[in-house]
Structure 1
């Protein structure tokens, strides 16, 4: 992840969100476990400077979020037709990242509701709902593609 030249400069919410997105991609690629992801994600949102954010990804390769490696297929070649479990593993990783982010969101909502003394609308549904629907469609379409290749 490319950071500004001055590590002592204050980071914005957008900077923290970009680092969080990169960490989610590293989980999906299998470079981080869910526990490591949760630990680093907590540190991301506590970080104040570019330098603090840079240390959270310093041991990971850079990811261009506009051109994700998993989403780019080589030109002139169809998607993989093999069934070695690699595609299934990335779907499992994506579901794991979804579950972790959902759990963190629900815990924040619960703590906020308890601390405020009144029921706060369940905003975590907006985090997990669209993401979960997309993952569900991807999971179902991947399984459908496998059964068509088997025949």
Structure 2
């Protein structure tokens, strides 16, 4: 952990709360201890205040990989947002097939060219998914060999 007097970020506080969650689940903390420590973690200002909350807890045997590294090495489908991109793309595709099917049926039923409204359903969603996928593939750094 960096120098104790330096200011902690939201991500640092969240990491400590996650470690406290794991310690509660492992039986290392009572519920009262967990509640006290997690409340203090949310209000901590410095790294030193955060370090006090986990000083008596053992370090994890194997640290969890950084989300960007997990995206780069654990497969491009699992990324920094913790969501499964494969499921997101599958949902997008299924929704696209359904709305295009509805559009085609309505166009064939009316006999006229109907405004292609499905682009407003699948278009923006697809752009966001594409940006997210490309960002996660490019975001990871390779560890030193």
Q: Provide TM-score, normalisation by structure 1.
A: 0.45
Q: Provide TM-score, normalisation by structure 2.
A: 0.47
Which is higher, the Rg of structure 1 or of structure 2?
2
